[in-house]
Amino acid sequence: MMPRTRFRRTLALGLLLALAACAPVRNPATGELQYTSLTPADEARIGREQHPRVLAEFGGEAKEPRARAYVQEIGQKIKAVSELSRQPFTFTLLDSDMVNAFALPGGYVYVTRGLLALADDEAELAGVLGHEVGHVTARHTAQRYDRAMLGQLGAIAATIAGGILAGEAGAQLGQAVGGTLATAYVQGFSREQELEADRLGIRYLARAGYDPMAMASMLDALEAESRLRARLEGQRDTVPDWLRSHPRTKDRIREAAAAAATKEGGSRERERFLAAIDGLTFGESPAQGFVRGTRFIHPELDFRFEAPPGFTLINRPNAVIGRAGDGRFLQFDLGEAQRSVDPATYLQQEWVTKQRLERVRSLATQDGRRGALGLGRVVFRNKPAAAMFAVVESGRPRQFYRFVLLREGGLSSADLAAYEATVRSLRRLDAADRAEARPYRIRIHTVRPGESEASLAARMAIPNGAEWFAVLNDTARRPVRPGEKVKLVLRE
């Protein structure tokens, strides 16, 4: 391992070389000269290279062509009134229920399904897109890329530490933690950058003919969704991803409203917006599977499994993460073997190769799939932890479902029995599973005489429907009245 002093010298040298490579570039939004290591051509290249990785990380593009085309249309409308109107931009609607929007260098702008569902009208969507375009025109994304150099060094250090302490499996978990920390650091814009992106977004809203107050109302909607999610998850505070990487403050909302007040009012285009999102998937999609309590059901891959009682499952495009309040943790994903092998061989010779697993043995799942498990060690939250590693045949050549199940400190006999039961529970879907694995969708409904907020909320198919109805329809700002259109979340 590299001594700490030498590592610091290497890091300092890397930073000095990065600074030496910086070149002056005229900021399109402000006209000021700025110094970064990237030229505009570099930014375009980075965006092109990273775009496929973003799609893979967030589950690809949303499956609804009308909503995708709508986001692209509004994005191009905002880009056309920006300082980079002649530069190509790519606007993508991601198939993710996370509430998020972000931009890469070179004009690659992303909005998730989760954020699109939360917006109340076209002007609010345009405000989000304008904010992200503002980050690009002001070259905040280029400046953030320079900071990424330090973050990547941190991620590499975490990978090395994991590998030393626990072999390949520990390195994988260490890399995941390091990458997350690096991303969080890189995504953190300064207060000045955030306010500048807000101001630019408001500028573009006004130029495009939208109501500039939409920026502030969208921030209010994000605050409301954050409070609801915190309450439902039993946490003191849950910050949506867009506000986590774009710091949330009441001052920011007030300043956005004050900046908008200096502009002339414009349109909101709510009817057009609601028509575009009618039928949009809400929550998880069939392509990524569904969490139903402690069960994970994947209709397209035709399998399900059940976590032990007390677990909360979090579905991500490339993995399912499970956590329990007593220090238990699981990770489930898909691995591919280099050659045709049996489960035990894949477990020890292709997946976990840098430590010798103990008590390795074969098992069979509920539907007769072959599997294998063994006990080893990983680094979890910077501490060594005992873990069970298990693999199960997926039914496709050379592909295996993989489990890492652990508890901080150590695994008891009860833990081992419960974790093995989780692995054995993996099976193909039956008719009841498929009925439960239907997606939720947003449906636009015109309020009829005699209908009330309470009666409409009762039709919501999702848990806590009344609370979600209020947030999705912004009933605090606009009470329900006959003739108005509202969003309902119904089972397909």
- Average pLDDT by consecutive 10-residue portion of the chain (492 residues)? 43 44 64 69 88 88 96 98 95 92 91 95 96 89 62 36 32 38 46 82 93 89 84 57 49 62 79 97 90 93 95 86 89 92 93 91 95 91 88 94 90 93 96 91 97 96 93 91 96 82
CATH of the domain at 301: 3.40.1000.10
Q: Strand 108-112 and strand 90-94: pairing?
A: parallel
Q: What does the pLDDT read at residue 310?
A: 92
Residue 131 and residue 94 share a domain? yes
Angle (CA) 273-83-253 rounded to 5° is 55
| pTM of the predicted model as reported, rounded to 2 decimal places | 0.76
Residue 463 and residue 395 share a domain? no
What is the four-CA torsion angle of 62, 208, 215, 195, rounded to 10 degrees? 110
Strand partners, 90: 108
Q: How many domains would you assign to the chain?
A: 3
Residue 153 and residue 92 share a domain? yes
Would residue 139 count as lying in a domain?
Answer: yes
Would residue 2 count as lying in a domain?
Answer: no
Per the CB < 8 A criterion, the answer to whether 429 and 395 are in contact is no
Would residue 4 count as lying in a domain?
Answer: no
Q: Which three-class secondary structure state does DSSP give residue 408?
A: coil
Residue 177 and residue 49 share a domain? yes
Would residue 284 count as lying in a domain?
Answer: no
Strand partners, 101: 111
User: What is the C-alpha to C-alpha distance for residues 449 and 438, in angstroms, rounded to an integer?
Assistant: 31
Q: What is the chain's percent helix, strand, coil content, to nearest 5?
A: 45, 20, 35
Residue 332 and residue 455 share a domain? no
Per the CB < 8 A criterion, the answer to whether 231 and 177 are in contact is no
Residue 130 and residue 244 share a domain? yes
Would residue 429 count as lying in a domain?
Answer: yes
The domain boundary, picked from 212, 242, 277, lies at: 277
How far CA 255 is from CA of 196, 197, 219, 249, 258, in Å, comes to 11, 12, 11, 10, 5
Residue 215 and residue 76 share a domain? yes
Residue 169 and residue 38 share a domain? yes
User: Whose CA is closest to 402, among 389, 386, 415, 416?
Assistant: 389
Tell me, what amino acid is at 155? A
Residue 107 and residue 44 share a domain? yes
Tell me, what DSSP letter sits at residue 294? T
User: What is the C-alpha to C-alpha distance for residues 413 and 417, in angstroms, rounded to an integer?
Assistant: 6
Per the CB < 8 A criterion, the answer to whether 357 and 389 are in contact is yes
Would residue 182 count as lying in a domain?
Answer: yes
* Token pair for 94: 């991601």
Residue 193 and residue 294 share a domain? no
In terms of residue numbers, what domain contains 465?
A: 443-491
The domain boundary, picked from 277, 311, 333, lies at: 277
The domain boundary, picked from 250, 277, 304, lies at: 277
Would residue 362 count as lying in a domain?
Answer: yes
Residue 353 and residue 257 share a domain? no
Per the CB < 8 A criterion, the answer to whether 389 and 339 are in contact is no
Q: What does the pLDDT read at residue 444?
A: 98
Residue 197 and residue 170 share a domain? yes
Q: What does the pLDDT read at residue 159?
A: 29
Would residue 386 count as lying in a domain?
Answer: yes
